[in-house]
Amino acid sequence: MNTTKWRWLSDQIISQLQAGVQFPDLTGTRYRAVRFLARGGMGTVWLAEDTVLGRTVAVKILEVDFTTGELMARLQREAMVLARLEHPGIVPVHDAGTLPDGKAFYCMKYVQGQTLDQSLPSTLRERLRLLQRIAEPLAFAHSRGIIHRDLKPANIMVGPFGEVLIMDWGIAKIGRDALRWSGTSAAITAESDSLPKEPSVPEVPATAHGKILGTPGYMSPEQARGDSDQIDERTDVYALGAILKFLLAGDLSKKESNLKPLYAICEKAMAEQPGRRYSSVQELSDDVEKYLRGDPITAYPEGVIERTLRLYARHRTAVVLVLAYLMMRILFILFSRR
């Protein structure tokens, strides 16, 4: 079939057309598919109605390739833990199961808004505050033994009232502490010793369609190597540094005079070796807070001139008042001698 005449169609429209042909069979569940929402690396997301509670939800249906063997078992376990990972900045999982055709699915809260890559705040301060709001639920997840592993602007939803939610925890790495924090049953906790191992990862990933456990550009070096034993919260630190770099892109350099400390934060967060990065997302967020307050940051050694300019910028009003007072004193002394 000649596809030349269809090239004007956007990828989103093509995805919608493909999804429409494969309208999901939700028979046996409490959900009724309403319309297609998005296609991700591991499946499709549909707007659905919860026919029992009468509310709108989002149902993510995984592709067949990801619903067999160890990975399916792991994804179901992840859904059980994430369902108990309650934080305002984390999209909650309501339900999980298997459809009649064998595909696994998640039922999640339907979040309205725009992803970070679709809409950026206009000012630097707003962008940095937004980054700190991303760090909060991420730090909470880390404290519960869960590493996101696919943090990127497309997985950050910004709501109409400024709320920030981290989405798509489908490839999260779950530590053994997660079961203890999650409140799962004793039987599930006992099964934790037989958690499926990490699925194999291509050494040089050529695509981001869910088989590489990460996204190029936001994926840490240890993820790209497939070294799952080295993945910890510093893996998400790397991705958060990449998001900060994304937030600094564009025309900010024309509006802001001193972005070097922020790029230094990016460089430290995205260091090749995990031991050279920030030890936690909270530590990275703290350096951003210091920048906003006009304090020196740990990632950027200042020179004398830079320190002087920073102090002047922070205490500009006081400096101007002191200089005005000194000028008046000098003028008073000069005129009093006449």
Whether 156 and 258 share a structural domain: yes
pLDDT of residue 190: 35
Give whole-number Cα distances, 128 to 135, 139, 293, 297, 312, in Å.
11, 16, 12, 14, 22
pLDDT of residue 204: 29
Choosing from 89, 110, 131, the residue where a domain stops is: 110
Whether 4 is covered by a domain: the verdict is no
Residues 6+ apart with CB under 8 A from 330: none
Nearest to 261 by CA among 313, 309, 301, 315: 301
pLDDT of residue 192: 39
Mark whether 193 is an active-site residue: no
Whether 96 and 116 share a structural domain: no
Nearest to 163 by CA among 219, 210, 112: 112
Whether 106 and 234 share a structural domain: no
CB 255 within 8 A of CB 262: no
Choosing from 82, 110, 138, the residue where a domain stops is: 110
Q: What residues make up the domain containing 37?
A: 11-110
pTM of the model: 0.74
pLDDT of residue 156: 95
Whether 6 is covered by a domain: the verdict is no
What's the CATH number where 129 sits? 1.10.510.10
pLDDT of residue 330: 78
Whether 72 is covered by a domain: the verdict is yes
pLDDT of residue 238: 98
C-alpha 94, offset from chain centre: 20
Whether 151 and 219 share a structural domain: yes
Whether 3 is covered by a domain: the verdict is no
Q: Is 16 helix (H, G, I), strand (E, B) or coil?
A: helix
On the 0-12 / 13-18 / 19+ scale of CB atoms within 10 A, 141 is buried
Give whole-number Cα distances, 285 to 40, 298, 336, in Å.
29, 12, 55
Whether 25 and 140 share a structural domain: no
**Domain count of the chain?**
3
Residues 6+ apart with CB under 8 A from 136: 87, 89, 285
Rounded CA separation 186/275 (Å): 36
Give the β-pairing of 55-62 and 104-109.
antiparallel
Whether 69 is covered by a domain: the verdict is yes
Give whole-number Cα distances, 234 to 31, 39, 106, 125, 238, in Å.
38, 28, 27, 25, 6
From first to last of its 338 residues, what are the pLDDT tens digits of the chain?
A: 454 555 555 666 555 555 555 788 899 999 999 999 887 656 788 999 999 999 999 998 877 655 566 666 666 776 777 777 889 999 888 888 888 888 888 898 998 899 999 988 889 999 999 999 999 999 999 999 999 999 999 999 998 888 899 988 878 888 776 656 555 443 333 333 334 444 433 332 333 334 457 889 999 999 999 888 899 999 999 999 999 999 998 777 667 778 999 999 999 999 999 999 999 999 999 999 999 998 889 988 865 566 556 555 666 676 666 667 677 777 777 777 66
* Annotated catalytic residue, options 50, 65, 95, 150: 150
pLDDT of residue 264: 96
Structure tokens at 259: 């972005």
CB 121 within 8 A of CB 84: no
